[in-house]
Structure 1
């Protein structure tokens, strides 16, 4: 890595003409930008199955010296801004890796054991309340043979037989984390609850948390949704950020295809998949499901005997859009209206 050192300051020479300030700033930009790409590219390390460990001490020493050399120039501020952007991109990639998740939940588990802290609600308490109550009403409507009606969903009154309807719904939470979503679903009346996560630390935390809060009936299993070992199907499958995290993985496109192949095996016919995302709009999630449907149709054998199967698949694809939450706060940007989070339900045919 190149390291730049400024020459020692010489005594003033009244006969020597100094360059204008703009040229001094430009020189600073050149000093900083020469090393910028190298520092930004090496500014993080991944210790996981998917990456390697860089020479942290040497890297940080070189970066510090390079930055120190350019500290006298205002261009260093621009460098800092650019490095923040590079670090943000790097962090985005790290969020898709298992070691990051293990470390995060190890901290939460320690905090829980030492101070009884409940842990972070990834999507926020208000959004989680919306997701669980909306999902409950959706499942009850389906159990009663009603098609979801968004016009009346906010006006629905509790039904005395809610628990009877919800008890027949087996629920799977993909990427359960600390398991708080399942606890909230239990409070809504769901009883057959299972959470999976590929982080063993997260599962330990979720079990400890559930036992302490009186939800020992919730089952927690270590399982990777991309290579799931589950053989059971569920009437309701919940995803609150797992698809987002998979999209941040360095091999995101391939992992997403694996995700949909696995999920399609876990949602029972007639069941529901509910996805909550902070990285996708409702329309983007619908498009992703349609892409899976088309890809799935293309996997049918190319022979005359499958013509009827293809027609059936076209008329009744694996997944169909069912409903979405319409009560999230919205904002306008560039003439378009959107929300910071989207929750969409799909029916499994």
Structure 2
């Protein structure tokens, strides 16, 4: 997804930056995309796209390690896709990992990749995060790389879905649990405006910057938030 022409770091509020609805915000799009990636994996073993690239995974993993997050902390990967972020976390020693996605093809792909990597202790579940099941609760850390962006592009009820998403994150986290979100559509200020109820910022992670028209901005925003009691 592109940044919809916005320069990150600007002071636009979120009402001024509504995005044009896109097929990228629909379940049908992701079902088709992951069905293709699943077939490709079965044919040649290619795991498919790593959302935001390997750098985005490394950024979050390095922060978790720097902050000494316990390796047995319960971690939820929201919109896990092919599950490669969970693979990376497992390789770094994290042991209590769960990935969810609303696309059945994504879930099957991720499970196939876990089997190939011989990672039998990672849970992969088919879940619509906007209506999380009671089983999803009590997590120490929740991570999102692009799922909130996709929800924001849904042609139907995007604003309502964003609010529902924020409630869902709060509902699955423990008190003082951490939420790490990476977005290419929303600025720091916009994310904080949307997620202001029930969260406080801990840190903005450094991301690549660019200059355009004499202004400096970031093409990606990465924030660490803490759930308030």
TM-score, normalization: structure 1?
0.57
Is 1:320 matched up with 2:226? no
Equivalent of 1:226 in 130, 149, 153? 130
Aligned match of 2:34: 105
Aligned match of 1:131: 60
Q: How many Å separate the matches in 1 of 2:178 and 2:74?
A: 11
Shift, 1:288, TM fit: 1.9
Shift, 1:119, TM fit: 1.1
Which entry has the higher C-alpha Rg, 1 or 2? 1
Aligned match of 1:258: 164
Q: How many Å separate the matches in 2 of 1:268 and 1:247?
A: 25
Equivalent of 2:187 in 263, 281, 285? 281
> SS state of the match for residue 264, structure 1?
helix
> SS state of the match for residue 95, structure 1?
helix
Equivalent of 1:246 in 144, 151, 161? 151
Is 1:346 matched up with 2:225? yes
User: Which structure is higher in strand share?
Assistant: 2
Q: How many Å separate the matches in 1 of 2:30 and 2:164?
A: 20
Residues 258-302 of structure 1, C-alpha deviation per residue, up to 9 Å, x if partnerless?
Answer: 111111100110210000111112222222222xx1xxxxxxxxx
Aligned match of 1:331: 210
Contact 2:97 2:122 (C-alpha < 8 Å) held by counterparts: yes
Residues 180-199 of structure 1, C-alpha deviation per residue, up to 9 Å, x if partnerless?
Answer: 11111112221100001011
Unaligned runs of at least 5 residues, structure 2: 1-18
Is 1:193 matched up with 2:72? no
TM-score, normalization: structure 2?
0.86
Q: What CA RMSD, in Å, does the superposition of the two structures yield over aligned residues?
A: 1.6
Q: How many Å separate the matches in 2 of 1:284 and 1:137?
A: 27
Q: How many Å separate the matches in 1 of 2:118 and 2:204?
A: 31
Unaligned runs of at least 5 residues, structure 1: 1-88, 144-164, 294-317
Aligned match of 1:311: none
Q: How many Å separate the matches in 2 of 1:174 and 1:285?
A: 16
Q: How many Å separate the matches in 2 of 1:345 and 1:264?
A: 14
